[in-house]
Amino acid sequence: MYAEVQFIEQSAPTYCPVSFIIPAHNEEKYIGKTIQAIHDAIEESDILAEIIVVNDDSSDDTVRIASELGARTIDVSLRNIGAVRNAGAKIASNEWIVFVDADTLIPGKTLIESLNCLASGCAGGGARVVIDETQQLFWAKRVMYLAVVLGWQIIGGWAAGCYMFCRKDLFDSFGGFDEEYFAGEELFFSRQLKRQGRFRLVRNPVVTSARKLHRYSTSQLVRFILVPLLNFRSMFRSRSGLEILYEDQR
């Protein structure tokens, strides 16, 4: 006589509503694909969500494109990436926040893995970052990119600025991004969240553009990466030397 086997159905994780926050300055070339990818990921994960584009003094069609794709837009004139993200978080109405750059695509699997982390009690985290394979790179720049990923994410365990997620209550509790800094804000974000609870970099990646790697020479990129290491905190308290991040031309 066979013993009766009982199958216990596991309930799916419960997801809170999500606010996607996109800082944008003259991003008409990329913003449409980024928002559409978010819409696709929202549908795949079956969540309630809003998309907020924080328009930081754009002079192109960024706002029009974002609005036509259903995003909520607000205008600021800050030219400080942490302050721009904070402005979006301030008006976010949902319990979970995802920060994504205007040239970064979120696959559905990456979003679902991130939501599972939050649903299981994580304070927040980030994701692996891969370069858009349609944009060919010179081998030296690809090696440089891989070295940064190794040092920043694999060894350091910090989120990349192009994709970060967290609980809004925890984000508010430590005051958001430190607006004294014009770069490296993802490092301070990661450190603060690690103090709040579990922090995780999910395995599924986001896909970001290689525009800065194409636009600047290898020597310019090396200088940008290495010089701040000598005096990290003081280097990032001014936009001087950060033209790679804050140049107007897109």
- Our count of domains for the chain comes to 1
Any domain includes 12: no
Any domain includes 195: yes
Would the pTM of this model clear 0.75, i.e. be above it? Answer: yes
Any domain includes 3: no
Consecutive H or E run containing 166: strand 163-167
Q: How many CA atoms lie within 13 A of 228 on its CB side?
A: 20
- 184: domain range? 18-246
Q: What is the pLDDT of residue 1?
A: 44
* DSSP secondary structure, 10-36, as one string: PPPPPPPPEEEEEEESS-TTTHHHHHH
Any domain includes 85: yes
Q: What is the pLDDT of residue 27?
A: 96
Q: What is the pLDDT of residue 2?
A: 40
Query: Per residue of the chain (250 residues), what is the pLDDT tens digit?
Result: 444 544 444 566 889 999 999 999 999 999 999 999 999 999 999 999 999 999 999 999 999 999 999 999 999 999 999 999 999 999 999 999 999 999 999 999 999 999 999 999 999 999 999 887 655 666 666 666 666 666 656 666 678 889 999 999 999 999 999 888 777 788 889 999 999 999 999 999 999 987 766 565 666 655 656 655 555 556 666 666 666 566 654 4
Any domain includes 4: no
Any domain includes 178: yes
Any domain includes 6: no
Q: What is the pLDDT of residue 170?
A: 97
Q: Give the CATH number, domain containing residue 66.
A: 3.90.550.10
Any domain includes 214: yes
- Beta strands across the sheet bearing 49-56: 72-76, 49-56, 18-24, 96-100, 163-167, 124-131, 199-208, 104-105
CB 186 within 8 A of CB 104: no
